[in-house]
Structure formats: C-alpha cells, structure tokens
C-alpha cells in the first residue's frame, strides 16, 4: 500500500474503479473505494481521504445529494465525474461544493492534473501567508502582488478578486460565488462586472492577456486561477 495521499473513489462501475485504481496507484496514491452513496459518506468519515472522486450516477442516491451531505462537515476536495455537460449542471455542482468536474469520457492525464490542482488549492483564508504560482506572488499579510518580483498596483476590488481566486487556486468559482464574495449576497452586479475585472487583472498579471496562463475563464460558469 502506498504512503501517498489517500483518494476515495465513489463509483458503482467496476471497470471505472479498476482503471482509476491502477492509474492512481501507479502515480503513488493510496486508493480507497465505495460503490454507493451511503458507503461513500461512511468512507469519507472513516478514511479521511485527501481527495474524493465522485460519480454522479450512484445506485442508491444521486451524486449531487451525496456531495451536499459531504459538504455539511467536510472540506475535502471533491472532483465530480459526470456524463452531463450543460452549464447549469456544472454550476449546480460547483455551487454545491465541488472543487472541479470532468465530463466522461476523460483522459487520465487530465484527471491527474485536476487532482494535483485540487490538492494544492488549500491556501490560508486569513490575511497571512504567501501564495506563489509561476512568476506571480501574492503576499496576503502585506496585501502586495508581485510579478517577476516587481509590485503590481491593483485596485481594492481587483485585489479582492485575485485573493479569492488564489485562496481557491485550481478550483472553479462560479460567477455567483465570486459576486457574493466581492459585493455581498444581496448585491445586484451581473457577470459583465466580472468580465471587466477579469480583463483588467489579466492586463496586469498575464504576460499575454489574450492568451492567459493564470486567470482562466470557464465559459458560462466562472473563473479559475491556475497553479503552476
């Protein structure tokens, strides 16, 4: 058994579980399995995994309800596997607490990359700590953003937007999640506000704003800050 991070697979398809186990163990992960929603929730409590791979189509209960149950008491990163690919389905999953999603069929290379990103996104939520990705550094304590060791001047809203993304680096945040955090739950701003701030941020943090490497748009869903 590997001493690496523990990944719990909640999926009732034997072939999918076998394929995931072989690939994940080959990359040093310690794999646990569950075939039902009930068993999966119990395994989360017992195994305390570092990450959960959750299929939406479970025999005893749908994955979305399972995700909501897990999120009542656990912050463990969750990557959802689904055959659904609509924007609404993705938004519902992310709003319910999923860290990421992959639409079947998917490549193992992409899943492994998403796993690494999800397991890196645990950044201090307070004002202390430093976040580094590529040539970008965010010093939360001093509220300073550096690119290639040179300070970038951001407006308060730009900084709050970037800080929120950094604290959830590798995770897709929906438009509503970002708007609620920046302007409050009862605020009225629409997604055009976010597009403006995303464009402004890209001009300041990206080498080529037209081909962003850090601040990535998830069309119709939200934004993600890439860990590099």
- Is 218 part of any domain? yes
Residue 5 confidence (pLDDT) above 60 = yes
CATH of the domain at 178: 1.10.10.10
Give CA angle at 164 (212, 144), nearest 5°.
80
Residue 152: the pLDDT is 94
Q: How confident is the model at residue 3 (pLDDT cuts 50, 70, 90)?
A: low
- Answer with the one of 120, 151, 185 that is the final residue of a domain: 120
- Report CA torsion sign: 85, 10, 43, 6: negative
- Is 188 part of any domain? yes
- Answer with the one of 80, 95, 120 that is the final residue of a domain: 120
Residue 80: the pLDDT is 94
pLDDT tens-digit profile of 119-178?
A: 876 444 444 578 888 999 998 878 899 999 999 999 888 998 999 999 888 888 999 888
The proportion of the chain whose per-residue pLDDT surpasses 70, expressed as a percent, equals 93
Q: How confident is the model at residue 185 (pLDDT cuts 50, 70, 90)?
A: low
CATH of the domain at 107: 3.40.50.2300
Could you tell me the end-to-end alpha-carbon distance of the chain, in angstroms, rounded to an integer?
Answer: 29
Q: How confident is the model at residue 186 (pLDDT cuts 50, 70, 90)?
A: low
CA atoms within 13 A on the CB side of 62: 8
- Is 196 part of any domain? yes
**Nearest C-alpha neighbor of 62 from the set 84, 46, 44:** 84
Report the pLDDT averaged over residues 209-220: 93
- Answer with the one of 61, 94, 120 that is the final residue of a domain: 120
pLDDT tens-digit profile of 82-96?
A: 887 778 888 888 888
Name the more confident of 83 and 32: 32
Report the pLDDT averaged over residues 185-208: 86
Verdict on whether the full-model pTM lies above 0.85: no
Same domain, 64 and 89: yes
Same domain, 103 and 150: no
Report the pLDDT averaged over residues 94-107: 87
Residue 104: the pLDDT is 84
Supply the range of the domain harboring residue 207: 130-225
Same domain, 158 and 114: no
Same domain, 142 and 101: no
- Is 1 part of any domain? no
Domains: count for the chain: 2
Residue 52: the pLDDT is 96
Report the pLDDT averaged over residues 91-102: 88
């Amino acid at each position: 058994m590997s001493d690496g991070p523990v990944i719990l697979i909640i999926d009732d398809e034997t072939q999918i579980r076998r394929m995931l186990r072989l690939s994940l163990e080959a990359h040093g992960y310690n794999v646990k399995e569950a075939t039902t929603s009930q068993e999966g929730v119990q395994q989360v409590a017992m195994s305390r995994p570092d990450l959960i791979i959750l299929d939406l189509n479970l025999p005893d209960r749908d994955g979305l309800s399972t995700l909501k149950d897990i999120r009542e008491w656990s912050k463990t990163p969750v990557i959802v596997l689904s055959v659904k690919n609509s924007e609404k389905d993705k938004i519902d999953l992310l709003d319910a607490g999923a860290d990421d999603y992959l639409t079947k069929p998917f490549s193992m290379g992409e899943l492994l990359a998403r796993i690494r990103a999800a397991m890196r996104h645990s950044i201090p939520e307070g004002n202390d700590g430093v976040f580094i990705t590529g040539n970008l550094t965010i010093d939360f304590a001093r509220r300073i953003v550096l690119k290639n060791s040179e300070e970038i001047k951001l407006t308060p809203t730009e900084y709050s937007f970037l800080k929120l993304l950094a604290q959830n680096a590798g995770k897709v945040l929906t438009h509503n999640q970002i708007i609620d955090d920046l302007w409050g739950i009862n605020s009225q701003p629409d997604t055009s506000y976010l597009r403006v701030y995303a464009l402004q941020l890209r001009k300041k943090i990206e080498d080529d704003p037209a081909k962003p490497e850090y601040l990535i748009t998830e069309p119709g869903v939200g934004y993600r800050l890439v860990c590099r």
